[in-house]
Amino acid sequence: MSYQPPIKDILFNLTALSQWPVVSGLPEYSEIDLSDATTALETLGRFCTSTLQPLGADGDATGAQLKDGVVVMPDGYHDAYEAFVDMGWQSLAHSPDHGGMGLPRAVGAAATEILNASDMSFGLCPLLTDGAIEALDITGSDAQKARYLPKLITGEWSGTMNLTEPQAGSDLGRVRTKAVPQDGGSFRLSGTKIFITYGDHEMSQNIIHLVLARTPGAPDGPKGLSLFVVPKFLVDDDGGLGARNNVNCISIEHKLGVRASPTAVLEYDGATGFLVGQENRGLDHMFVMMTAARFAVGVQGVGLADRAYQQALAQAQERVQSRPVDGSSTDAVPIIQHPDVHRMLMHMRALVEGGRALVAATAGWLDLARRGPEDIRGKADEMSEFLVPLVKGYCTEQAVNVASLAVQVHGGMGFIEETGIARLYRDARILPIYEGTTAIQANDLLGRKVLRNGGDVARRFAEMIAETEDELRRAGDTATAVADRLQAARAEFDASLAFLLDAAPDDPNTAYAGSVPFLMLTGALAVGWQLARALLAADAARAQGVDPDFMTRKIATAAFYAHHILPDCAGQRARITAGADSLLSAAL
């Protein structure tokens, strides 16, 4: 079946959850209105369904290949990328100062969702380019911005992130790539980087690598890393392409999923690079790109989950099997009429729409943190930093669950490659791994976002949820029932937070044994909160006669999530507060 971009739901979230009145009123967005966002997303959706979606099956079957030192993409990808660039899609949410369209981040996130739902292998290339743009825009010099950003923003050039090495996966303190200073201010980089998404290909005219490396005499560990920009082709002062740099793809990985995305091993052999920002501050600078990429990978999870849900829904509406258990028909009926199939589909829908709601809300906070008034920028930054690991960790784990349920709804045919659902399941499995595993997101949430400030931001998060509960209790019986479930889940969060704050100083192993359950509890609560806000907005709109069928559907989704998914928070609290001893004492 054909993927249908969920434009109506995206626009609902944009206006109801992303703080659109505040964000759209910022000076940077003063000339943007909702009709601009609508037109852009609808046009992008048509491009994705007509041009990108058909690439997926053949791209998966063929995969990217390395032939005679050249990465060869599957048929159709080069032409699709050229069309993508010609239509200006890479520029959607980037600054007009360097040629971007300048739309808010929530619109950019929606575009990322649509792109990756259409074909995640293709979507990974612009995703990494977006991250490189953000890193250079925030940490690069004026000269570097002028040299690289215009072509990256058009998509004529693509970008990569080079962190991982054979001996240094998530432990970046073990990075060994060397950067030796040269006369004139450049550096020569030597070393090997692995797992580099779109590390080499022929679709773009140039590839701008952002590379972590160590200068002579730098401190050991992560504090001795610096960030360098290393173009595949050196760039002349007039912006033209010069000599080929000494960075080469020596192999590409053979993967479980996203097979059309070339995951490269890159060899730097005295390649010319240029320092970005301050020496020995590379990890801080790279974290700008990592944060952008982590948020975008969470958005990928929402997009892939929606694609899987749409296909499972179509299958359930068409597949006729067995008589209904209530005896309402003596003939076999479409399986959507069977209670457990209905349960699986509603579970999928709630996770998809809930993830999309959390993304929209987080995007609003990110925009306010970067561009908001000075008096709210600090608190917006804290809240966005708190929410990003939830978007990445929770939404990607749930994407795997949704894809698995989609296989289940298909029954035996879900295990057969021709249906395409098996491919989505395989593609989904990378999401909780790359750009920082779920455990890394959980450690980041607990260590940097909770313990570092004594739980202040986490308590503010809970206070905002309590305010939403009060609003729900004034909005009718369904909303009050959702408020009760939200309050119960918040109580589990509060108890878990208190336990972790107490345990961490003297017994960090006990605290971090509960870090992933805490992320999953907090993620489930955050999604429930945003769906509750969506319920309030939908209830108000329905009362005014606005699209009542759609608004009723939104209310039903929030109610289902509250009653069927929020109760899982109790189990997560038990793992956090009572599970450490059995976990840590067990011999392996």
Q: Specify burial of residue 258 (Cβ count, 10 A radius: 0-12, 13-18, 19+).
A: buried
CB of 429 closer than 8 Å to CB of 438? no
Considering the entire predicted model, what is its pTM?
Answer: 0.97
pLDDT value of position 172: 80
Q: Percentage of the chain surpassing pLDDT 70?
A: 100
**Helix 34-47 with 7-17: angle, nearest 10 deg:** 150
Nearest C-alpha neighbor of 523 from the set 484, 489, 483: 489
C-alpha separations of 261 from 54, 59, 73, 198, 519 in Å? 15, 9, 8, 6, 29
pLDDT tier, 169 (very low <50, low <70, confident <90, very high otherwise): confident
pLDDT value of position 405: 98
pLDDT value of position 171: 79
Please give the structure tokens belonging to residue 92.
Answer: 């959607």
Residue 319 to residue 212: CA distance in whole angstroms = 52
Residue 200, phi-psi category: left (phi > 0), alpha (psi -120 to 50), beta (remainder): beta
Neighbour count for residue 429 (Cβ, 10 Å): 17
Reported as type and span, the H/E element at residue 191 is strand 187-197
Q: Quickly tell me which residue has 């082709």 as its tokens.
A: 233
Nearest C-alpha neighbor of 18 from the set 382, 356, 360: 360
Q: What is the mean pLDDT of residues 523-546?
A: 98
397, 435, 469, 492: the catalytic one is: 435
pLDDT tens string 339-357: 999 999 999 999 999 999 9
DSSP letters of 302-346? HHHHHHHHHHHHHHHHH-B-S--TT-S-SS--BGGGSHHHHHHHH
Neighbour count for residue 376 (Cβ, 10 Å): 14
Question: Please, which residues bridge with residue 187 across strands?
Answer: 181, 273
Q: Specify burial of residue 412 (Cβ count, 10 A radius: 0-12, 13-18, 19+).
A: exposed
Tell me what the pLDDT averaged over the chain comes to.
96
Residue 508 to residue 504: CA distance in whole angstroms = 4
Question: Please, which residues bridge with residue 209 across strands?
Answer: 160, 230
Range from 39-48, 178-187, 283-292 carrying the lowest mean pLDDT:
283-292
Indicate if the pLDDT at residue 1 is higher than 80.
no
Nearest C-alpha neighbor of 200 from the set 289, 263, 290, 268: 263
Q: Is 385 a catalytic residue?
A: no
Residue 394 to residue 308: CA distance in whole angstroms = 17
pLDDT tens string 217-230: 999 999 999 999 99
DSSP 8-class letter at 165: B
Q: What is the mean pLDDT of residues 425-448?
A: 97
**Segments in 411-434 forming alpha helices (H):** 421-428
